[in-house]
Amino acid sequence: MKAHVLVVAAIACTLGLGGAAHAEGQSLSSAYHLSSGASFVGATLSRDFVSLNDHKLRVRGTVSYLAGTRDSSGTGSHAADRIEVGLATRNTMVRGKPAFSVLDLGYCVTRYEQLEQDYRDSGLMFAFGLGAHISESASLLGKYVGGIDSGARIAMEIEF
């Protein structure tokens, strides 16, 4: 898992800290992910790559780290970590309106322990949902995440 943390740190530096002098188009969000067999809390760092039509459509790179628990049949709950890397879109059809749609596509790796052994699940993931601006730089998001440990996710995002 240490190698995964190093990869996430390198991507985070590329997405966020590397462009700190030009911080516009970056965001940091906290997230709570709940599925039938797992629950996670974590954070996502994202940066706009493309902004079209006066910022109505934005495509951004994302990297996330979530920690929590995962249930295993017959053995109870176990600590788990989840790392996600991908692309996300924010589509505000009418500039100045508070609501926007969210579409994500990425790759995730989940690590968990079961019977004192480490296991990993990895694969493609997707998400879709809605968001609403609650201030000029803050948004609330709700989305369905499909793939490994599919479920609902709520997040609070701050843009800087």
- Note the pLDDT of residue 119: 85
| pLDDT for residue 95 | 61
pTM given for the model: 0.80
Instruction: Find residue 124's DSSP bridge partners.
Output: 107
pLDDT of residue 63: 96
pLDDT at 94 (0 to 100): 65
| b/e sequence 10-42, b meaning 16+ C-beta within 10 Å | ebbeebbeeeeeeeebbbebebebebeebbbeb
Rounded Cα distance between 47 and 23, Å, is 9
Q: Which two tokens stand for residue 77?
A: 């709950």
56 close to 95: Cβ distance less than 8 angstroms? yes
Q: Are 9 and 142 in contact (CB under 8 A)?
A: no
DSSP assignments along 55-116, one per residue: TTEEEEEEEEEEEEEEEETTTEEEEEEEEEEEEEEEE-SSTT-SEEEEEEEEEEEEEEEETT
- Across the chain, what does the average pLDDT equal? 84
- Tell me the pLDDT tens digit for each residue of 64-109: 999 999 887 667 788 899 999 999 998 987 666 789 999 999 999 9
Which residues have C-beta within 8 Å of that of residue 133, sequence separation ≥ 6? 98, 100, 139
pLDDT recorded at residue 108: 95
Q: What pLDDT, on a 0 to 100 scale, did the predictor assign at position 53?
A: 80
Domains within the chain, CATH numbers bracketed: 2-159 (2.40.160.20)
pLDDT at res. 3? 47
Q: Which residues of the chain have pLDDT under 50?
A: 1-22
